[in-house]
Amino acid sequence: MTSARAKETTMTANRPSLAVEIAGLQLKNPVMPASGTFGYGEEYAPYLDLERLGALVTKGLSLHPKAGNPTPRIAETTSGMLNAIGLQNVGVDDFIRSKTPLYRGLTTPVIANFFGNTLEEYGEVARRLADIPEIAAVELNISCPNVKQGGIVFGTEPQAASQVVTLVRKALGKPLIVKLTPNVTDITVIARAVEEAGADAISCINTLTGMAIDVQTRRPKIANRTGGLSGPAIRPVAVRMTHQVVQAVKIPVIGIGGISCARDALEFLIVGARAVQVGTANFVDPGVMMRIIADLEEFLIEEGLDDIGQVIGSLQV
Catalytic residue numbers? Answer: 144
Is the omega angle on the peptide bond into residue 46 within 30 degrees of 0, that is, cis?
no
Question: Is the CB of 123 or the CB of 231 nearer to ligand FMN?
Answer: 231
207 near ligand FMN (CB under 6 A): yes
Q: Least separation, in Å, of the C-beta of 158 and ligand FMN?
A: 19
Spatial neighbors of 209 by CB under 8 A, at least 6 apart, are: 183, 226, 227, 228, 229
280 near ligand FMN (CB under 6 A): yes
Count residues contacting ligand FMN (CB under 6 A)?
A: 25
Question: Is the CB of 271 or the CB of 278 nearer to ligand FMN?
Answer: 278
How far is residue 128's CA from residue 232's CA, in Å, rounded to a whole number? 35
Residue with the shortest CB distance to ligand FMN: 36
**Which positions from 97 to 136 touch ligand FMN by CB under 6 A, shown as an x/- string?**
----------------x-----------------------
Question: Is the CB of 112 or the CB of 249 nearer to ligand FMN?
Answer: 112
- Amino acid identity of residue 13, one-letter, is A
Question: Is the CB of 206 or the CB of 224 nearer to ligand FMN?
Answer: 206
What secondary structure letter does DSSP report for 88? -
35 near ligand FMN (CB under 6 A): yes
The 10 Å Cβ neighbour count of residue 140 is 30
Dihedral sign from CA coordinates of 47, 49, 55, 56 = positive
Q: Least separation, in Å, of the C-beta of 82 and ligand FMN?
A: 9
85 near ligand FMN (CB under 6 A): yes
Stretch that binds ligand FMN, among 14-22, 129-137, 240-248, 272-280 (CB under 6 A): 272-280
Angle (nearest 5°) at CA 193 between 191 and 196:
110
Q: Least separation, in Å, of the C-beta of 215 and ligand FMN?
A: 24
How far is residue 88's CA from residue 7's CA, in Å, rounded to a whole number? 50
37 near ligand FMN (CB under 6 A): yes
How far is residue 102's CA from residue 100's CA, in Å, rounded to a whole number? 5
How far is residue 153 from each of residues 110, 117, 183, 198, 245, measured CA to CA in Å?
Answer: 26, 9, 10, 20, 19
The 10 Å Cβ neighbour count of residue 139 is 26
Question: Is the CB of 16 or the CB of 243 nearer to ligand FMN?
Answer: 243
Binding site for ligand FMN (CB under 6 A): 34-37, 59-60, 83, 85, 87, 113, 141, 179, 206-207, 230-231, 234, 256-259, 278-281
